[in-house]
């Protein structure tokens, strides 16, 4: 990284506090994100209020859109969305004061709540099986999905190779997929033992592999596809199109509940951002990016 991207309200200087929080973040970020330290020379002027947000990759694109809209209404405030830290990493960064808001794809643990963290659900988005937008396939049945995971089905209808993209064992989406059916549980466990499959760590890495690997299919979220404008399409599952209304109607079986997490020292600007996300303007952005908002 040769330089730093400077928003209009930012200036560059060597700020020890910025260096400190970026070093802390580097401990929790997924491997390969050490370039975050290059941002240590980019700081926001003292007159501006900076809201740093980090956590699950599924939420980052949406946070950028919300941040841009929030900043238009709050002159001088800057919203900085960090690369994926994961839900747990974001909450740890929040506890350390490295971010003002964590975004999480899971509820708080008892220990996190006892430490002072507070979570607000801001939306629910379908967990989808996605493939490249050029793939003519538009739907899969649970039976077909189980056959893909087990290795019984190796080709798409046109004869091209299926490349299954897996998330790590223990990942929340992986566990949810296993719960779809007994056959899919067995197939998913077989897939975890198969050699040569693509395994991705972050939501963004998953989307990148699904875009660039011919014939790829794997789990991601509708919110990520829409907010990041990925060249991917969600596949209907047993004939049910994965959209926010299907979550509201309880017709689609897979969803990720997303939370904004703050701490007592997050500050009024961070609370203002949370309030904005729940306002009519914020809800409109969420609905446009594949979220069902209660």
Question: Tens digit of pLDDT per residue, the chain (294 long)?
Answer: 333 333 333 333 334 444 444 455 555 554 444 434 444 334 444 456 899 999 999 999 999 999 999 999 998 899 999 999 999 999 999 999 999 999 999 999 999 999 999 999 999 999 999 999 999 999 999 999 999 999 999 999 999 999 999 998 888 888 899 999 999 999 999 999 999 999 999 999 999 999 999 999 999 999 999 999 999 999 999 999 999 999 999 999 999 999 999 999 999 999 999 999 999 999 999 999 999 999
- Determine contact, residues 126/222, Cβ cutoff 8 Å: yes
CA–CA separation, 198 and 285 (whole Å) = 32
Q: Which two tokens stand for residue 31?
A: 């491997």
Q: What is the pLDDT of residues 207-236, one digit of tens each?
A: 999 999 999 999 999 999 999 999 999 999
Domains of the chain and CATH, by start: 11-123+256-288 (3.40.190.10)
**Which residues have CB under 8 Å from 261's CB, separation 6+?**
55, 90, 91, 94, 101, 102, 103, 104, 108, 117, 118, 119, 120
Q: Which two tokens stand for residue 153?
A: 């089905």
Q: What is the pLDDT of residues 18-32, one digit of tens each?
A: 444 445 555 555 444
**Which residues have CB under 8 Å from 128's CB, separation 6+?**
219, 220, 221, 222, 225, 234, 235, 237, 242, 254
């Amino acid at each position: 990284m040769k330089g730093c991207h400077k928003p209009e309200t930012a200036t560059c200087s060597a700020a020890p506090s910025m260096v400190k929080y970026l070093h802390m973040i580097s401990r929790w970020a997924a491997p390969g994100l050490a370039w975050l330290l290059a941002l240590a020379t980019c700081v926001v002027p003292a007159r501006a209020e900076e809201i740093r947000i980090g956590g699950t990759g599924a939420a980052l694109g949406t946070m950028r859109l919300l941040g841009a809209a929030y900043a238009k209404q709050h002159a001088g405030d800057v919203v900085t969305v960090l690369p994926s830290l994961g839900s747990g990493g974001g909450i740890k960064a929040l506890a350390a004061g490295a971010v003002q808001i964590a975004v999480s794809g899971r509820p708080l643990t008892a220990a996190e709540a006892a430490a002072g963290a507070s979570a607000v659900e801001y939306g629910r988005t379908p967990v989808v099986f996605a493939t490249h937008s050029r793939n003519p396939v538009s739907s899969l049945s649970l039976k077909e999905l189980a056959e893909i995971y087990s290795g019984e089905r190796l080709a798409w209808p046109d004869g091209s190779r299926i490349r299954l993209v897996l998330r790590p064992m223990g990942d929340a989406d992986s566990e949810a997929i296993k719960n779809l059916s007994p056959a899919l549980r067995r197939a998913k466990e077989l897939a975890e033992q198969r050699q040569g499959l693509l395994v991705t760590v972050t939501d963004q890495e998953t989307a990148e592999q699904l875009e660039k690997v011919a014939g790829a299919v794997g789990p991601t979220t509708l919110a990520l596809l829409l907010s990041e404008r990925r060249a991917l399409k969600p596949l209907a599952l047993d004939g049910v199109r994965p959209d926010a209304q299907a979550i509201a109607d309880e017709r689609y079986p897979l969803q990720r509940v997303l939370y904004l997490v703050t701490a007592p020292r997050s500050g009024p600007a961070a609370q203002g951002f949370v309030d904005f996300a729940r306002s009519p303007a914020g809800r409109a952005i969420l609905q446009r990016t594949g979220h069902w908002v209660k």
